[in-house]
Amino acid sequence: MSGLKRELGLGYATFFGVGLILGAGIYVLVGRAAALVGDGVWASVAFSAVIALSTAFSYAELSSMYPTAASTHTYVRAAFPRSGLPAFLAGWLLFFGGVAGAATASLGFASYFSKLLGLSPGWDVPVSVALLSALTLLNWWGIKESATLSAVFTLIEAGGLLLVSALGLLFPVREPGYLSFNPMVNPLLAIMVGAAIFYFAYTGFEYQPTLSEETANPERVIPKSIVLAVAVTTAIYLLVSISVVRLMSWEELGESKAPLADAASRAWPQAFHALMAIALFATTNTVLGFLVSSSRLAYGLAKEGVLWEGL
């Protein structure tokens, strides 16, 4: 089996991770968490960040010890050398998780696309298939091209979230006690359950090690990129969670189907359509990230004898 070209550095690897983590989860989950926690949803975001960083440091340490595209499969195999079943299950679960994630995100893209253009829901599947086909071709073209597009889309995603933050922080606050908790729920319990809900918005960094065999000096670069990606997204998430409750109450956020867009439109009416458009880039980037990482994971699994090398 021929080797992969090491074309990525710290910047590309970090952008790839940030793009995978940001995704479209934040656009919905902040409202669901706020419905339980109240205006103090920022505390759940902070708590979930601590959990995510703990996991990220574990992945960083393991990726420095085993810089392979098989990532989780290799880690579990090293932990349980006497039985190949745990590693087999871990590798395949991660692979199918990436494939399912790409399919789900592509349907999310199709939904946003149809709403913006006024198309009927019957177009969702054809649009989804077209997106998957186009990004698969890009993935086949090369990692540098895929990583470059991912970096551009990540900047657009981050820009949209920073726009929400700026609108929330600059617009007059709706009431002085806007950071209080839901009075009907125990604050500590609410924070923990809210963190469990919001943690999904942090998933994605576990796929960064799959780029190890296309990254220069992966033993140092991949661990740094994992920690940096989680740290950057944490800063953005905290800004967003504080900003949205300045614009809308937790009751309104919990009832909204598009909490970020609805909150931002309170300060700038055109923000709703702007964020809907940015969501297209977010979902596209998620699809691209999962396709890239899943294909590299399959390559790593083939090298370790779990998949047929001819694939």
Q: How confident is the model at residue 2 (pLDDT cuts 50, 70, 90)?
A: low
For residue 15, how far is the Cα from the chain centroid?
Answer: 11
The dihedrals phi and psi of 149, each to the nearest 5 degrees, come to: -65, -40
First to last CA, the chain: 10
Contact 56, 205 (CB under 8 A): yes
For residue 56, how far is the Cα from the chain centroid?
Answer: 13
* pTM: predicted TM-score of the whole model, two decimal places: 0.89
pLDDT greater than 60 at residue 295: yes
Contact 39, 249 (CB under 8 A): yes
Give the integer Cα–Cα distance in Å for 285 and 291: 10
The dihedrals phi and psi of 252, each to the nearest 5 degrees, come to: -65, -40
Residue type for position 17 = G
Give the integer Cα–Cα distance in Å for 63 and 58: 9
Query: Scanning the structure block, which residue is given the tokens 């909204």?
Result: 256
Q: Tell me whether residue 133 is exposed, middle or buried, using C-beta atoms within 10 angstroms of its C-beta: 0 to 12, 13 to 18, 19 or more.
A: exposed
Give the integer Cα–Cα distance in Å for 24 and 125: 19
pLDDT greater than 70 at residue 176: no
Give the integer Cα–Cα distance in Å for 102 and 299: 18
Using alpha carbons, select from 177, 219, 28 the residue that is nearest to residue 105.
28
Query: Scanning the structure block, which residue is given the tokens 């071709």?
Result: 137
Please state, as a whole number, how many other Cβ atoms lie within 10 Å of the Cβ of residue 311. Answer: 8
Tens digit of each residue's pLDDT (9 = 90 or more) over 196-242:
999 989 989 999 999 999 999 999 999 999 999 999 999 999 999 99
pLDDT at residue number 15: 94
The CA distances from residue 27 to 126, 240, 279, in Å, are: 24, 10, 8
pLDDT at residue number 3: 66
**Which stretches of the chain are DSSP H helices?**
10-22, 26-37, 41-65, 72-79, 85-117, 124-141, 143-170, 187-198, 218-247, 250-255, 259-267, 271-303
pLDDT greater than 90 at residue 58: yes
3-class SS of residue 142: coil
Tens digit of each residue's pLDDT (9 = 90 or more) over 32-54:
888 888 888 899 999 999 999 99
For residue 51, how far is the Cα from the chain centroid?
Answer: 15
Ordered domains of the chain (ranges, CATH): 10-303 (1.20.1740.10)
The CA distances from residue 79 to 60, 62, 83, 90, in Å, are: 16, 11, 10, 12
